């Protein structure tokens, strides 16, 4: 796994906003339970890219697991807006349920 992490970190050193690199690196961090790094990478991604909702869902889940509920709420709320814009109703409902579970 560390080889893949190093590969994507190098990719992002050359092009810090590469959307594929950011999502792939976040995935790799999650696999090795580097959840703070996963959250930070997903935050970088959503700050720069017009995501359709999935990255917000993942970010909310990671932040919830890190017990950063206020940040998770913001991620879910933004994700609901984004997923709704793109017609991803199932994802909207999933994030609403996750948001409600934080209340």
pLDDT in tens, the chain (103 residues): 679 999 999 999 999 999 999 999 999 999 999 999 999 999 999 999 999 999 999 999 999 999 999 999 999 999 999 999 999 999 999 999 999 999 8
* Cα separation values, 49 from 2, 74, 82, Å: 26, 16, 11
Measured CA to CA, the distance from residue 67 to residue 81 in angstroms comes to 23
Q: What is the pTM of this model?
A: 0.94
Q: For the chain, what is the largest distance between any 2 Cα atoms, rounded to a whole number of angstroms?
A: 41
Q: What is the C-alpha to C-alpha distance for residues 28 and 90, in angstroms, rounded to an integer? A: 26
């Amino acid at each position: 796994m560390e080889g893949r992490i190093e590969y994507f970190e190098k990719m992002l050193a050359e092009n810090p906003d590469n959307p594929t690199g950011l999502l792939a690196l976040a995935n790799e961090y999650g696999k090795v339970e580097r959840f703070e790094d996963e959250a930070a990478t997903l935050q970088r991604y959503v700050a720069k890219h017009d995501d359709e909702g999935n990255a917000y869902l993942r970010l909310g889940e990671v932040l919830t697991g890190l017990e950063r509920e206020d940040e998770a709420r913001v991620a879910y709320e933004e994700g609901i807006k984004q997923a709704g814009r793109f017609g991803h109703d199932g994802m909207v409902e999933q994030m609403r349920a996750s948001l409600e579970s934080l209340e």
